[in-house]
Amino acid sequence: MTEEEVAMEVEALEAVYGEDCVILDSYPPHLHLHIKPRTADISSQQFVEAVVRIQAGSKYPDEPPRITLIESKGLDDQRQKHLTGIVQEKAFQLSSSLMLVELCEEAVERLTIMNHPDGDCPLCLYPLFPEEDGSKQMPFMKLMSCFHCFHCDCIIRWWNWLHAQKDADSKSGDTSHMRRGSSTREADKSLGNCPVCRKVFHASDI
């Protein structure tokens, strides 16, 4: 493949993905792609997203590019490895042919299949989705900042406990707490940190 053919492929990729595709180098191709599930038309139906790095060497396409994840939301280590492994395998299958668009499509398809919360509630350690048909499914929610999911009752109970602790600390602590402006105290009450990853979220998320 000529450098011109590869450059045209990169242009096609930009046309398909627009702002979600950041080209770091046209030749050899090196890009970051922000992918979301196709099934997530509204934010409440989206539980995963990722930024994939596709980095090719000078022998591309005879030598397939390297696939890695720069960041992700809603994917544990196992699902991150599965996503990159599947796309990397596709790259080996398409060796010697221009493949960037197909690799990006494969990544989106795989992420779409994974668009569901996985595992247990981090607070109570019970499954978000009970495996037994007879078990009652408890409503759950995700934090928009990081996509970590919790049972609604668990996160609300945790939030109320957290602010009860803060109120108790401010009453028993020194008076410097009391001298702070009310706007600062209100700001404290409107923000929290995810119990799993510590990322800041707003009370309106709950």
What is the DSSP secondary structure assignment for residue 95, as one 8-state letter?
T
Per domain, the residue ranges of the chain are: 3-113, 140-205
State the pLDDT at residue 136. Answer: 65
Its pTM stands at: 0.75
State the pLDDT at residue 22. Answer: 96
State the pLDDT at residue 142. Answer: 85
State the pLDDT at residue 171. Answer: 77
Q: What is the pLDDT along the chain (206 residues), one digit of tens a residue?
A: 789 999 999 999 999 999 999 999 999 999 999 999 997 677 778 899 999 999 999 999 999 999 999 999 999 889 999 999 999 999 999 999 999 999 999 999 999 999 988 788 999 998 887 666 555 667 888 888 888 889 999 999 998 888 888 777 777 765 444 444 444 444 456 788 888 888 888 777 76
| C-alpha 200: how far from chain center | 15
Please state at what angle helix 3-17 crosses helix 100-113, rounded to 10 degrees: 30
Looking at CATH, the fold of the domain delimited by 3-113 is given as Ubiquitin Conjugating Enzyme (3.10.110)
State the pLDDT at residue 66. Answer: 97
CA angle 139, 71, 51 (to 5 degrees): 100
- 17 dihedral zone (left: phi>0; alpha: psi -120 to 50; beta): alpha
pLDDT digits (tens, 9 = 90+) for 122-139: 999 988 876 665 556 678
State the pLDDT at residue 182. Answer: 45
State the pLDDT at residue 14. Answer: 94
pLDDT digits (tens, 9 = 90+) for 172-204: 765 444 444 444 444 456 788 888 888 888 777
Residues in CB range of 167: below 8 A, 6 or more apart = none
State the pLDDT at residue 177. Answer: 47
